[in-house]
Structure 1
Amino acid sequence: MQNWYKKINNQTDYILRKIKEHPFINELMDGTLPKDVFHFYINQDALYLSEYKKILSVTGVKCSDEADTQFFLDAATGVIHVENALHNLFLKQETFNPVPSPTCELYTSYLSRIVHTHSVEESLAAILPCFTIYKQVGDYILKHQTNTIKNPYQNWINTYGGEDFAKSVQKAVEITNKHAQTASDEILTKMEMIFEKASKLEWMFWDSAYNKESWKL
């Protein structure tokens, strides 16, 4: 399959549309998102990324091509540097909560299970939505936002709509497509299911942040 990502991206477009329509994204775009909601999101994002960088590293080690391995190890390092800068900017005067929300816990646990117990192809399908959806959301916001000068979240928006992040996303897509080309039909089906579930978890992450999700007990 020459372009596995193009196919699965079309199949899961309904999820991306729901993300773009979410009030979190729309209020982030125009700068009206309540600060306590954004703080909750950044806090949970920090917890998510502390696990995601490990997941990227494990995925990289599973790749047989040294260049692919290096890419994911570099991506894990990039997560540390770029996200730490954003979190220092937005969390520096706030209290950090070390407890992941139920959705954050679910998402990171799911990714960790896939990369530790499934094939490299399935691992790539699991981690890819975090790359591609953030890129698509960043591009969408930059294209449609009207408040760029006074938007308190512009630094966050620029990070995911920037050229450096776009190059990283494209490389992750290329690596996944390469592995899909030689994957069996059974593995391809599993890759599609995993990518779709991870994409749904992306929507759930935005939604849980908007509602400041907490444990019921």
Structure 2
Amino acid sequence: MTFSQDVLTRAQPIMDAIMSHPFVQSIADGNVPDDILNYYVEQDEHYLKDYLQVTALTVTKTTDADDIARLLETAQFVSDESKAHEVMLNVTGHHIENWRRSPETQLYTDHMYTSAYHGTYADAIAVLLPCAWSYGVIGCELVARGANNDANPLKEWIEIYAPKANDDIDYNAWRFDALERAVANLNDSQKEHVAQTFLKSLEMEWRFWEAAWKQTQWQFDF
């Protein structure tokens, strides 16, 4: 079993919980409450800016020209991801107001920066990977379920994240390949640290959905 296969096996319970989360199920049904969509978009706006910066930091941790090119290409996709936000905001009529970062958003982005700054190239890849991978799984499974029907106001959102048969590059396959190459010369303890980095990010993905669903806020003003 490869490192990636082992990590994905360990990750399956978290991914199952994401797929069964009421927010994701409501996206499939096309009936997410407006306040939840607005919260999600506001927090994701914060998250994606940090994701871009962590991606840029990850570029500095490798000399592999192909990996650098792929990282820059994925950064471009993230910068264009505002289209997914527009789909949701077209449903609610909300306009971005730069709400305060929620506790879960702060926790997640702190984890990303810490892993990328202080970890290996493998840690940097691992901390970023669960976001792209989990959204690809969501998109693929919802399309397979027929959730991207014309009656669903979030049809386009689902299709943005679903892998396309005519895509030139399978970026998630590349990400896991890069991860395999990055851990190749690490010892068992270092590999486990990378695995924990990946799994923590994936749990933070679940927590991100949960925070939006429950409208989590800071308890006090400061």
Name segments (4+ residues, structure 1) moved above 3 Å: 88-93
Deviation at 1:3, TM superposition (A): 2.9
Distance 1:35 1:49, change over 3 A: same
Distance 1:165 1:12, change over 3 A: farther
Q: Deviations over 1:59-80 (max 9, x none)?
A: 1221121111121122112210
Deviation at 1:166, TM superposition (A): 7.3
Q: Deviations over 1:129-163 (max 9, x none)?
A: 11211111111211224561111111110011132
Residue equivalent to 2:188: 185
CA contact 2:133–2:172 (8 Å) conserved in 1: yes
Aligned counterparts of 2:56 and 2:106: Cα–Cα separation in 1: 19
Residue equivalent to 1:211: 214
Aligned counterparts of 1:191 and 1:166: Cα–Cα separation in 2: 25
Q: 3-state DSSP class of the match of 1:214?
A: coil
How many residue pairs were aligned? Answer: 215
Residue equivalent to 1:126: 127
Residue equivalent to 1:12: 11
Distance 1:96 1:165, change over 3 A: farther
Distance 1:36 1:215, change over 3 A: same
Whichever structure has more helix as a proportion of its residues is 1
Letter in 2 for 1:113: T
Residue equivalent to 2:158: 157
State the identity as a percent.
24
CA contact 1:55–1:115 (8 Å) conserved in 2: yes
Q: Structure 1 length normalisation: TM-score?
A: 0.92
Letter in 1 for 2:97: N
Residue equivalent to 1:33: 32
Residue equivalent to 2:44: 45
Deviation at 1:23, TM superposition (A): 0.5
Residue equivalent to 1:139: 140
Residue equivalent to 1:96: 96
- Give the gaps of 5 or more residues in structure 1: none
Of the structure 1 ranges 169-178 and 198-207, higher mean CA displacement relative to structure 2 is found in: 169-178
Aligned counterparts of 1:120 and 1:5: Cα–Cα separation in 2: 15
Aligned counterparts of 2:66 and 2:169: Cα–Cα separation in 1: 18
CA contact 2:126–2:194 (8 Å) conserved in 1: yes
Residue equivalent to 2:73: 74
Q: Is 1:172 matched with 2:171? A: no
- Give the gaps of 5 or more residues in structure 2: none
Residue equivalent to 2:114: 113
RMSD between aligned residues: 1.8
Q: Structure 2 length normalisation: TM-score?
A: 0.90
Deviation at 1:6, TM superposition (A): 1.4
Letter in 2 for 1:177: E
Residue equivalent to 2:85: 87
Distance 1:118 1:147, change over 3 A: closer
Distance 1:70 1:162, change over 3 A: same
Aligned counterparts of 1:146 and 1:70: Cα–Cα separation in 2: 33
